[in-house]
Structures are given as C-alpha cells and as structure tokens.
Chain A
Amino acid sequence: MPPTITRRRFSNKTEDYGVFKPSRIAQIGQLSIYVQDIERSRQWYETLGGLRHSRTCEQEPHPFKPGWTIRCCYMSAADHKECLVLIEERDPEGKVTVPSGMSFFHTAFELEGNRLENVFAFAAQSKQGGFVPNYGPVRHNGDPPLGDGETGGNVACYFYDPDYNNVEFCGAMDTIENYRARYGDTRGSARA
C-alpha cells in the first residue's frame, strides 16, 4: 500500500514533542464497548483477535441509565486480564441498542513479541483465517518503505469488528527513549 494516494509523504506537517517524564497514569486498565451480539463479538475477538474469554455475566443494571440494563462479557489478553468488556446494552423495553461507532476512533492491542515480525505474522494468520484488514500492515512514521507519514513508530494492522469498531493490532511502538535516540530533540516540522 502506498503511503499516500499521491505517494508523497506529509510527515513534515506532523508535529512531535519530546516526552521525558512519567504521568500519573501507568497504563490503560480496561475498555468496555457496546456490541449488538455478545456471542458474535466474542467469536470475533477470540478467532481473529486471539483474546480469551474470562466470563460472561447475567444482566445487571446500567451504571448510569436508569431502567436500562447491560450484560457483560469479559475478555483477556495474554498479560492483561479482563482488559476488554463486550457489552450488550438494553433499553427499558429490552431492545438491544446499536453502537454508533462515534465514541472512539480505534482501540489498540499490543501483540506478543512486540516486534515488526509479530505484526506481519499476525496479519498473515488473519488473512489465512479469511479476515481482511481495513488498513495495514503499515508503520506509523515517515520512513520508507513502510512509513505512512503518521506518528508513533508502531507497526499496525486494523480490522473492523462485527459492530464496525476499528481495532488495531500493533507492536514496536516508539518508546520515549528510542524516539529520542532516533530524532533527538528535533521536532517533526524541523525533520522535513
């Protein structure tokens, strides 16, 4: 896939900033997303995503919509227990709601091994399973031959889940240290 339609790169218009200190947050702990059919989504996240089913709960009251209910399916990654919650949301009449796709752009899982080769192997095994990525595999930087002009350095491929949530599977993201080793303190605009 060419990095841009015109094959020109635009990374000179991406501004990057050095990050040299930890925040108050260590990591993302959990994400809960709405799905229309837990079984359908569970199969997708198990089959393509490689997540493991932890548990599916009985219906419970919606945490902030009086009269509504939710049913939760907890999925785990290899090193991250119950990191994803698949939720069927029901209105007071019991009808399952349809996710809008407009709360988050995508969410990203880091693959075991965390290297470029692992992402390409994941993309290959996904293709073998009949899954087609909507983007990638690609590297999010401006370096040829893989770079797409984006930022972060991660190698990634993206798939839509059954509710058209965009899910990224990635590895080899820049850390602050190797990012600095590559670019020093030079900002994106100055690297053009």
Chain B
Amino acid sequence: MNAHVGQPKIAPAKLQHHVIYVSDLKRSKDFYMKLFDLQFSALNHPDSSAAMRLSNQEMHFFSFGFYHHDICLVKHHKLKMDNNSMLHFTLMARDRDAFDAIRKSAAAMEIPVRDGRLIASAKTSPGQRSYCLQDPDQHWIEIIEEQRP
C-alpha cells in the first residue's frame, strides 16, 4: 500500500462518466438510445488509437446532452465480460416526465422493472421515486427521479 499522504489538495467533484463492457454493441446501443434517449456522440473503431488497438476494444460514446460522453459501451474482442465487478449504477432522470417516460418505454420494450432502490441501505429522499431494471447484459441500472429545489 502506498504511503498515506493525507487529504489530497485536488479532489474529485463528482462521478462524471462510466464505461461498461457489453457483449453486443449494436444490441446495447439500441437499448440505451431507445430507453434513455442517450445521444450517440462518438465511435472508436478497434484501430482508432494505440489504446484501442492494444486493448482489443471498440467503444461507443453516449452523451446525456451536455458533456461529450457520460456513458460508454465497450466491446472487448478477446475477453468475455461478466457482472462480477459491478453491482449496479444509477442514472438520474432529468425530471418527472423523463422518469415516467423511461418506465413507459421499458414497458413497451417488455423490460421487467423492480420498484425501489436496488441496495437496501441506499438513502432515498422523501418522495423520491426509483426503480431498477437490467440491460441486455444483465447490468443492473437504477433510475431515480432527480429532485430539484
């Protein structure tokens, strides 16, 4: 373990983007764009850079509409993905209408929905709605209604 250096001067402000493995890029791209209306912002071919080439990966980038990318889907062409390093991730619906629209789309896509937060010890603000569902690779996604003052 590295030496303890105390509280760093420069620290993270927030969790900004997350890059998940998928087994079928087209299937997952369709899922995320149709369900969450994520905006497809970039595509890195397997030979788009040294990093992609060395890692045997192909990435699709998606934006929530402000940053260049917030969620990325990665297909590893040599290794098999699984669900054994991440339990879930949470997406904050933009507003009440978006929260309901996602649920409506999930029903239309015949995606089972589980009410409430996924982890029992997770905190929920009074009146805050949430539900969970799984993507085509069985990644658990929690959807929470963002509450604004």
Contact = CB atoms under 8 A, between A and B. Distances in A.
**Do A and B assemble together?**
yes
Interface of A: 3-6, 10-11, 13-17, 19-34, 40, 43-44, 46-51, 57, 60-61, 63-64, 70, 72, 77-80, 82-85, 87, 89, 97, 99-114, 118, 121-122, 125-126, 128-131, 135, 148-154, 162-163, 165, 169-170, 173-176, 179, 188
A151 B49 CA distance: 10
B10 A125 contact: yes
12 contacts: A16-B41, A23-B94, A25-B92, A28-B16, A47-B5, A72-B121, A103-B20, A125-B10, A129-B3, A149-B48, A175-B67, A176-B67
Contacts, number: 323
B68 A176 contact: yes
B82 A102 contact: yes
Contacts of A11: 48-49
A141 to B, nearest CB: 10
A99 B86 CA distance: 8
B94 A25 contact: yes
B108 interface: no
A77 B49 contact: no
Interface of B: 1-21, 36-45, 47-54, 57, 59, 61-72, 74, 76, 79-95, 98, 101-102, 118-123, 139-140, 142, 144, 146
The residue among B37, B38, B65, B80 with the most chain A CB atoms within 10 A of its own CB is B65
Given A103-B86, A105-B19, A14 B13 contact: no
Contact of A80 (B14, B18, B140): B14
User: Could you tell me the dominant secondary structure of chain A's interface residues?
Assistant: mixed
Nearest to B140: A64
Contacts of B45: 13-15
A153 B65 CA distance: 15
Contacts of A28: 15-18, 70-71, 89-92
A148 B59 CA distance: 15
A121 B13 CA distance: 15
Contact of B5 (A14, A22, A109, A125): A125
B94 A26 contact: yes
Given A50-B12, A105-B74, 6 more contacts: A30-B90, A80-B12, A107-B17, A112-B13, A129-B3, A151-B61
Contacts of A105: 19-21, 57, 59, 72, 74, 76
The residue among A3, A82, A100 with the most chain B CB atoms within 10 A of its own CB is A100
Contacts of A5: 50, 54
Given A4-B49, A128-B5, A150-B51, A17 B41 contact: yes
A109 B15 contact: yes
Contacts of B69: 151-152, 173
B12 A34 contact: no
Contact of A13 (B4, B48, B87): B48
